[in-house]
Structure 1
Amino acid sequence: MKYTITGATGHLGRQIVNAMAKLVPANELNLGVHTLSKAAALKDQGMAISAIDYNDAASLTAVLRDSDVFIYVPSKSHDSFSRVTEFENVLQAATTAHVRHLLVMGFIADQVDNPFALSAFYGYVPRRLAASGLHYTIIRNALYADPLVPYLPELIERQNVIYPMADQALSFISQADSAAAFAKVATTPALLADGRIYTLTQQRNYTMLELAAVLSRVSGQPIGYQPVSLQTFSDLYNQGNEGPMLASMYAGGARGLLDTVSDDYATIMGHPAQSLPDYLQTNYHG
């Protein structure tokens, strides 16, 4: 078998590689990376490493050639047009390279009425795949729990969660749990069903008051909920010009479009995803 994974040195991609390495021999893993130097340790483990450029379908074709399963993790661009353009290049390369099955990362903010800046891309993916003639499976992630850990000291200082979410809830999954599910689906023919869409979440979602209560218990510090405006949130977190994109995500959340809860993780793995309190207690060492 040949498993190709793109974005293999990114946050989720690296964890998928680690999860896959527990299930298949290293020489079956074919990794596409943007910076070869970041993958030196993976190459030393016996994995094939190639440089990729999502904007160059020809170079992608060479990396994807005759892959049995291609796990596609999108780039981190901030607008749907860039990602759709990238995805078209990926599909062209996958078709030319005779990829047998695509396993594609999605996100729960893909509704037609969602103001999230990337919802158009995530809504485009399943529709475009359905028309592609390729065999595919999609795994939609909830919000990653991971950023809450480095964010917690700031929330302790502020004494408040500030997400502009009104009274609506957020649903989470850890990157480690997501990666484990990707690896399990990729290596289990019964789960790698053509056209199947899985949604990965924990067993419950959290309003901002509930999230604040969890963060308070984990940190031992009082944290409440005092939302800021969407514009203020955008201005506060505009590093790398991500502010408007992040604010648009919470605009969707404030409409109740980020509160999805699914039991698909348990279907895949045979047990529930790690809960948010357990994840935070395990990983926060303040």
Structure 2
Amino acid sequence: MKYVVTGATGHLGRQVVAQLMQLTAPTTITLGVHTPAKAADLAALGMAVQPLDYQDPTSVRAVLTGADVAIYIPSKSHTSFSRVQEFENVVTAAEAARVGHFLVMGFIADQATNPFDLSAFYGYVPRRLAETDLSYTILRNALYADPLVPYLPELIARGNVIYPMGDASLSFISLAESAAAFAKVAVTPQLWTHLSYTLTQERSYTMPALARVLSQVAQAPIGYAPVTLQQFADLYNEGNEGHMLASMYAGGAQGLLATVTADFRRIMGRPAQSLPDFLTAQLAAGDNGAKH
């Protein structure tokens, strides 16, 4: 078998590769990466590393050629239009390369009424795949729980969670558990019969409930005092991501980020780690990921 992972040096990509290595030999794994030098450590383990430019169809097809299973992890571009262009190149290449099975990262903010800046892309993905003759599975992630860990010091200083969510709930999954599910589906053809899975923990959290969890794990009082969407965008506009982040919580305030399923349990045969257990373990390990 030949397994191809695109975006393999990103936050999720590296964890997918780490999980996949536990289920198949490194020599069966090919990595498509924008900067091959960043994958030198993985190449040293026996994986093939190929340069990949999502905007270059020839490059994408070269990486996907011969793939029995290809795992597509999108770039971090901030507009649906650029991501759709990228996805068109990848889908076209996957069809031309006759990829055996195509795994695609999705996100729960894909509803037609969702104001999230990237909802059009995530909504486009299943419709575009349905047009193809590809065998495919979409793995829709809930919000990543990981950014809550480095965000805690700011929340402790503020004394409040400030997400502009009103009474709505958020659902989470960790990067590691998302990656574990990707790897398990990749090597388990019996799981390919489902066109889509939604990866979540087994409950969602209103903002007061989330504040209670964060207070418990941080051992500090944290309440809930939401800012406005514009204030949130202004506060977290590093890398011009402010509007995108605010638009995500605008969808969340409509209840569109609260999905909870048992799909992770169906894939892995166990429940996803709870949010309190995840945060406690990460704090004990001294995790330092990205914010928000």
Residue by residue, what CA displacement relative to the aligned partner does 1:33-81 show, whole Å, maximum 9, x if unpaired? 1111110100000000011000001011111101000000001111100
Partner residue, 2:259: 260
Q: Name the CA distance, whole Å, in 2 between partners of 1:222 and 1:263.
A: 32
Please state whether the residue corresponding to 1:137 is helix, strand or coil: strand
1:211-230 equivalences in 2 (<5 Å): 211-230=210-229
Equivalent position of 1:25 in the other structure: 25
Q: Which amino acid aligns with 1:185?
A: V
Equivalent residue letter for 1:165: M
Match of 1:55 in 2: 55
* C-alpha distance in structure 2 between counterparts of 1:78 and 1:132, whole Å: 26
The CA distance in 2 between the partners of 1:92 and 1:206, in whole Å, is: 39
Residue 154 of structure 1, CA deviation: 0.6
Residue in 2 that maps onto 1:235:
234
- Report the AA paired with residue 211 of structure 1: L
Report what 1:198 is aligned to: 197
Tell me the CA shift for residue 101 of structure 1: 1.1
Counterpart for residue 64 of structure 1: 64
The alpha carbon displacement at 1:135 in A equals 1.1
Q: 1:208, CA displacement in angstroms?
A: 0.3
Secondary structure of 1:284's counterpart equals helix
Match of 2:192, SS state, is coil
1:89 aligns with 2:94: no
Q: Deviations over 1:199-220 (max 9, x none)?
A: 0000000000000000000000
TM-fit CA distance, 1:15:
0.2
Ranges in structure 2 where 5+ consecutive residues have no aligned partner = 287-292
Q: Which residue of 2 aligns with 1:41?
A: 41
Secondary structure of the 1:77 match is: coil
Superposition deviation, residue 275 in structure 1? 0.4
Output the TM-score relative to the length of structure 2: 0.96
TM-score by length of 1: 0.98
Whole-angstrom CA distance in 1 between matches of 2:238 and 2:14: 23
Question: Within 2, Cα distance between the matches of 1:33 and 1:158?
Answer: 39
Match of 1:119 in 2: 119
Q: In 2, Cα distance between the equivalents of 1:125 and 1:162?
A: 31
Cα distance in structure 2, aligned partners of 1:75 and 1:135: 22
Question: What letter matches 1:251 in structure 2?
Answer: A
Corresponding residue number in structure 2 for 1:163: 163
Residue 176 of structure 2 aligns with which residue?
A: 176
Aligned partner of 1:270 in structure 2 is: 269
State the alpha-carbon separation in 1 of the partners of residues 200 and 40 from structure 2.
32
Matched, 1:128 2:115: no
Aligned to 1:80: 80
CA distance in 1, matches of 2:238, 2:38: 23
Give, as a single letter, the amino acid of the residue that structure 2 aligns with 1:168.
A
* Structure 1 residue 96: Cα displacement: 1.5
How many angstroms does 1:150 deviate by?
Answer: 0.5
Uncovered stretches (5+) of structure 1, i.e. residues with no partner: none
Matched, 1:185 2:185: yes
Cα offset for 1:137?
A: 0.6
- Equivalent position of 2:290 in the other structure: none
Shift of 1:182: 0.4
Residues in 1 aligned to 2:211 and 2:283: alpha-carbon distance in whole angstroms: 15
Q: Deviations over 1:192-245 (max 9, x none)?
A: 22x520000000000000000000000000000000000010011111111000
- Whole-angstrom CA distance in 2 between matches of 1:92 and 1:279: 38
Deviations 1:123-176 (A, max 9, x none): 000000000221111100000000000101110011100000001000000000
Alignment match, 1:249: 248
Give the structure 2 partner of residue 98 of structure 1: 98
CA distance in 1, matches of 2:101, 2:232: 40
Aligned residues: CA RMSD = 0.8
- CA distance in structure 1 between the partners assigned to 2:6 and 2:62 by the alignment: 13
Q: Structure 2 counterpart of 1:146, which letter? A: D
